Structure 1
Amino acid sequence: MSLIRSSLLVGLGSMASRVLGFVRDVLFAQALGAGPVADAFLAAFRVPNLVRRIVGEGGLNPALVPALGALEPDEAAKTAGDVLAVFGLTLLGLTALVEIGAGLLALILAPGLHDDSETLALVALYTRLSFPIVLCVTLASIGAAILNMRGRFAATALAPLAVNGGLILALVVLEAGLSLPLAQKAAWLAASSSLAGLIQLAFIAAALWNSEIPLVRFRKPRWSPLLKSLLLAGFPVLVASGAVQLFILAATQIASFWPSGVSWLYYAERVMQLPLGLMAALGSSLLLPELARRHQSGDTQAIVAAQNRALEVALLLALPASAALFIIARPMTSVLFERGAFQSSDAEGTALVLMALSVGLPFATAAKVLSQTLFARGSLRAALMAAVLGLVLTLAASLLLAWPLGPTGIALGVSIGCLGHAGAVAIGLRRFGLWSPDRALTARLMRIVVAVLAMSLALLAAMSTIMSAIAQGGALSLAALCLGGLAIYALAAWATGAVTRDDWAVLTKKS
């Protein structure tokens, strides 16, 4: 399969999941608004959603793909069965602990609610109902990594749609057929998320079962050195892969001290995650296996070249997305969320948070791409240290900026953490002699910046004339603004040489 076909399959699946996620969050805002119940639900949903995003974007792939790919098919299938069995038993125990200690976990997730016992109790309830999804999506992610390693991308691209699709269905039923208090609506949604995760796991299990060549063989798990290394690598890999999500989790704890702060941060981050999640899925599913193969062959120059070309593609998407989100944040949050229980003041607060988060989007994207080489090389310590540095910067900057700027300052702290994370990854790679920006990357970046400036000027000019139409609920006007900006950027990118015919030829080569 050519790289472009693989990329399109993974990319379209990821994009479809993100679009469904948008629809889900629009319905969340309509059903729950941005008050105490919404804060409680979103605080409880933060950890399950964090795990779902990390593992759904291939967070365990850096530990699994290089290790299993080096084994013979039969031994790889047995080891994969051992991994699934051990992770399953471990996660069952963890789920039991969470069910018992949900009250303490609720206080950790939302310390700002320590004086509000009623809302804190709701956080605990929703945590108990939603946490089983962690077991399901983690096992599904391991199965997806095994399928990706064998070049089977269809099931792994489509399976994540089950979670968002199931929650959308639950929201439609709750809004259309039932008239329930907000607290009960949130409880049903939390339970629905766990059921949707079970459906996703069943989908992946069916794909593994229907393979012509057995991909998984179950037996009594053997405590082999490989299994031990995979388990020990699991935690640092998840931390390093989900660095941005961890930054958001830390920011959420600080935001819980502000009314509606948790909700504003959640909805803004969901918009920002659309382009970031796409690059994460492409990186873990396509770039990581390619880099792992090149690392095994010892071709350092090929690794550096592959990184630079991947970084070009990532910034080609991330830079215009960052600029567009910053410019049209207010109309976007208004059209997407301002309805039902979600008020105009909530849309304004969410827009300011989104503008602050958009600043860090290019840095978060660059870190996603560059960190794949550390994973392929097995340098988990360097990747972990870079993530820890970013987390420390996020906490320090968020606390410093929160008091004068509120949730907007907290979001700026996240962007500063993304900058520190990307810088630490780049420094680590240069220390290993595995990255240096070449002339092609520098020239392409300059052209991309020119195209982004052209798009930004056009968006700013159009905003003054189209804002009144958008303010009247004009989703079509917002869509026209977005598509117009995209068209101008595409034309400018072609005119400046940021995108050329040779790029398509490279993408369509057989991988």
Structure 2
Amino acid sequence: MSLIRSSLLVGLGSVASRILGFARDVLFAQALGAGPVADAFLAAFRLPNLVRRIVGEGGLNPVLVPALSRESPDEAATVAGDALSVFAVALLALTGFVEIGAGLIAFLLAPGLHDDGRTLALVALYTRLSFPIVICATLASLAAAVLNWRGRFTATALAPLAVNGGLILTLLALESGFDLPLASKAAWLAAASSLAGLVQLGIVAAALLQGGSRPVRFRRPRWSPLLKSLLLAGLPVLAASGAVQIYFLAATQIASFWPSGISWLYYAERVMQLPLGLMAGLSASLLLPELARHHQAGERQALVTAQNRALEVALLLALPAGAALFILARPISTVLFERGAFEATDAEGTALVLMALSLGLPFATVAKVLSQTLFALGSLRTALMAAGMGLVVTVTASLILAWPLGPAGIALGVSLGCLGHAGAVILGLRRFGLWAPGRRSLSRLARTAAAALVMSVGLLGAGSVFDETGPLALTALCLGGLALYALAAFATGAMTRDDWASLTKKSSEPLRPDAGLS
């Protein structure tokens, strides 16, 4: 499959999933608003959704792809089966622990609700109902990693749509045919998320079991050194891959001390995650295998070139996205969320949080892309330490800024954490001698920033024309800003015809089974 076809397939799947997730969250706001029930549901939903996002963006690919590439086709099929079986048992045990200890977990997720026993009890209930999705999403991600290694992307791109699609159907049914209290609506949504996760797993499992020439082999797992290394590396890789999600988990705990703080942070994050999630999915599914190939072949310069190229493309999207979200935060929050139980004060609070988060979007993108090089090298320790540095900065900055600025200060702390994470990753790459952006990359970055500045000026000027920004006006601003940025990008040379031509090149040959990572 050509690079452009595989990129488009993964990209379209990621975009479609984010759009459905967007629609889901708009319906969440309409149905639940931003009060105590919404805070309870979104706090409980945070933990399973964190795992689903991490693994759904290819968080387990850095573990499985290099391990499978070192084995023969027959042995790789056996290793994949062993990994799926062992993870299934471990996840069942974890889910049992969560179901029993949901009360304690609820307190840890939202410590600010400890004085409100009823709301905290709702957090525990919704956690019990929604957490089984973790089993389905993680196993689906493992199966998707195997499919990606084989060069099969269709099922992995489409299966995640089942979760958001199922939740949207549930929300529409609850809003149209039932007159339920808010707490009951949230309970049905929590249960529906687990059922939708089962559908996602079924789609990927069906594609995996087709197998082709190398079907996955299931047996009673044997405790091999390879399987042990997979299990030991799993948690560090997930933590490093999902660093931003962990930062938001910590921010949610702090935001629980402010009324509606959990809800405002959640809805603003979902807007910010639209461009970031796209880059995360593309990096894990497409960039990581490419970097691993260059590392295995000893092509150090080619690895650096591929890394710099990916960073240029990522910032080509992230810089204008961050600027647009900052400028359009208020109309976005109003148009998307202000309806039903979601009031104007909630839209204003969400807008302030979104403005703070938009500042960290480029840094989160840089860290996400550059971390793939560390995964390709097998340097999980460096990747984990960089993620830990970002977490320390997030918690410290959020606690300091929360008191004068409230939830917006917490969001600004997350942005500073993304900056710290990106800086730590760059320092790690410098230790390996792999941070060399070069004159071409720096020039491209300057041109991209100039194009984003032109777009920003245009958006500010156009925004001043509208007295009130409704759906049509917001759509016009978004499309006009995109068109202006595209013209400015070509005019400044941030985007060239050669960039489009390079996408049509055939992707590299599959990883050689006998080529190992050092």
TM-score (norm 1): 0.99
Task: List per-residue Cα deviations over 1:133-171 (Å, max 9, x = no partner).
Answer: 000000000000000000000100000000000000000
Count the aligned residue pairs: 507
Structural mapping, 1:299-310, within 5 Å:
299-310=299-310
Q: Which residue of 490, 498, 501 corresponds with 1:502? A: 498
Whole-Å Cα distance in 1 between the matches of residues 471 and 71 of structure 2? 52
Task: List per-residue Cα deviations over 1:22-57 (Å, max 9, x = no partner).
Answer: 000000000000000000000000000000000000
Q: 2:177 corresponds to which letter in structure 1?
A: G
Whole-Å Cα distance in 1 between the matches of residues 262 and 88 of structure 2? 31
TM-aligned CA distance change 1:447 to 1:278, over 3 Å? same
Alpha-carbon distance, 1:4 to partner? 1.2
Whole-Å Cα distance in 2 between the matches of residues 209 and 66 of structure 1? 21
Question: Mean Cα displacement is larger for which, 1-10 or 44-53?
Answer: 1-10
Whole-Å Cα distance in 2 between the matches of residues 303 and 316 of structure 1? 20
Task: List per-residue Cα deviations over 1:420-476 (Å, max 9, x = no partner).
Answer: 0000001100110112111110110111011001000000001111242x2xxx211
**2:247 counterpart of 1:247:** yes
Whole-Å Cα distance in 2 between the matches of residues 224 and 467 of structure 1? 66
Q: 1:143 matched to which residue of 2?
A: 143
Whole-Å Cα distance in 1 between the matches of residues 435 and 12 of structure 2? 29
Task: List per-residue Cα deviations over 1:292-316 (Å, max 9, x = no partner).
Answer: 1111011110010000000000000
Q: 1:476 corresponds to which letter in structure 2?
A: L
Whole-Å Cα distance in 1 between the matches of residues 304 and 177 of structure 2? 56
Q: 1:477 matched to which residue of 2?
A: 473
Q: 2:29 matched to which residue of 1?
A: 29
Whole-Å Cα distance in 2 between the matches of residues 351 and 208 of structure 1? 42
Q: 1:493 matched to which residue of 2?
A: 489
Contact 1:59–1:284 (CA under 8 A) maintained in structure 2: yes
How big is the alpha-carbon RMSD for the aligned residues of Structure 1 and Structure 2?
A: 0.6
Q: 1:477 corresponds to which letter in structure 2?
A: A
Tell me the secondary structure at the aligned position of residue 119 of structure 1: helix
Whole-Å Cα distance in 1 between the matches of residues 450 and 101 of structure 2? 53
Q: 2:136 corresponds to which letter in structure 1?
A: C
Q: 2:215 matched to which residue of 1?
A: 215
Q: 2:122 corresponds to which letter in structure 1?
A: L
Whole-Å Cα distance in 1 between the matches of residues 22 and 294 of structure 2? 37
Q: 1:104 matched to which residue of 2?
A: 104
Structural mapping, 1:373-388, within 5 Å:
373-388=373-388
Following TM superposition, the consecutive aligned residue runs of length 4 or more in structure 1 with deviations greater than 2 angstroms are none
Tell me the secondary structure at the aligned position of residue 251 of structure 1: helix
Whole-Å Cα distance in 1 between the matches of residues 122 and 491 of structure 2? 55
Whole-Å Cα distance in 2 between the matches of residues 211 and 238 of structure 1? 26
Tell me the secondary structure at the aligned position of residue 465 of structure 1: coil
Whole-Å Cα distance in 2 between the matches of residues 215 and 51 of structure 1? 27
Q: 1:40 matched to which residue of 2?
A: 40
Tell me the secondary structure at the aligned position of residue 223 of structure 1: coil
Whole-Å Cα distance in 1 between the matches of residues 214 and 206 of structure 2? 12
Alpha-carbon distance, 1:394 to partner? 0.2
Alpha-carbon distance, 1:214 to partner? 3.2
Whole-Å Cα distance in 2 between the matches of residues 14 and 249 of structure 1? 22
Tell me the secondary structure at the aligned position of residue 466 of structure 1: coil
Q: 1:503 corresponds to which letter in structure 2?
A: D
Tell me the secondary structure at the aligned position of residue 390 of structure 1: helix
Q: 1:117 matched to which residue of 2?
A: 117
Tell me the secondary structure at the aligned position of residue 464 of structure 2: helix
Q: 1:465 matched to which residue of 2?
A: 465
Q: 1:202 matched to which residue of 2?
A: 202
Structural mapping, 1:147-296, within 5 Å:
147-296=147-296
Whole-Å Cα distance in 2 between the matches of residues 205 and 214 of structure 1? 14
Q: 1:211 corresponds to which letter in structure 2?
A: G
Whole-Å Cα distance in 1 between the matches of residues 220 and 492 of structure 2? 59
Q: 1:454 matched to which residue of 2?
A: 454
Q: 2:329 corresponds to which letter in structure 1?
A: A
Identity across the alignment (%): 77
Alpha-carbon distance, 1:5 to partner? 1.1
Alpha-carbon distance, 1:210 to partner? 1.7
Contact 1:146–1:215 (CA under 8 A) maintained in structure 2: no
Q: 2:59 matched to which residue of 1?
A: 59
Q: 1:312 matched to which residue of 2?
A: 312
Structural mapping, 1:60-75, within 5 Å:
60-75=60-75
Q: 1:7 corresponds to which letter in structure 2?
A: S
Q: 1:491 corresponds to which letter in structure 2?
A: L
Whole-Å Cα distance in 2 between the matches of residues 466 and 294 of structure 1? 51
Q: 1:120 corresponds to which letter in structure 2?
A: L
Give ranges in structure 2 of 5+ residues lacking alignment: 508-518
Whole-Å Cα distance in 1 between the matches of residues 2 and 373 of structure 2? 21
Whole-Å Cα distance in 2 between the matches of residues 305 and 73 of structure 1? 30
Contact 1:95–1:131 (CA under 8 A) maintained in structure 2: yes
Alpha-carbon distance, 1:215 to partner? 3.3
Whole-Å Cα distance in 2 between the matches of residues 409 and 254 of structure 1? 11
Q: 1:12 corresponds to which letter in structure 2?
A: L
Task: List per-residue Cα deviations over 1:274-303 (Å, max 9, x = no partner).
Answer: 000000000000000010111101111001
Q: 1:338 corresponds to which letter in structure 2?
A: E
Task: List per-residue Cα deviations over 1:169-195 (Å, max 9, x = no partner).
Answer: 000000001010000000000000000
Whole-Å Cα distance in 2 between the matches of residues 2 and 363 of structure 1? 30
Structural mapping, 1:391-430, within 5 Å:
391-430=391-430
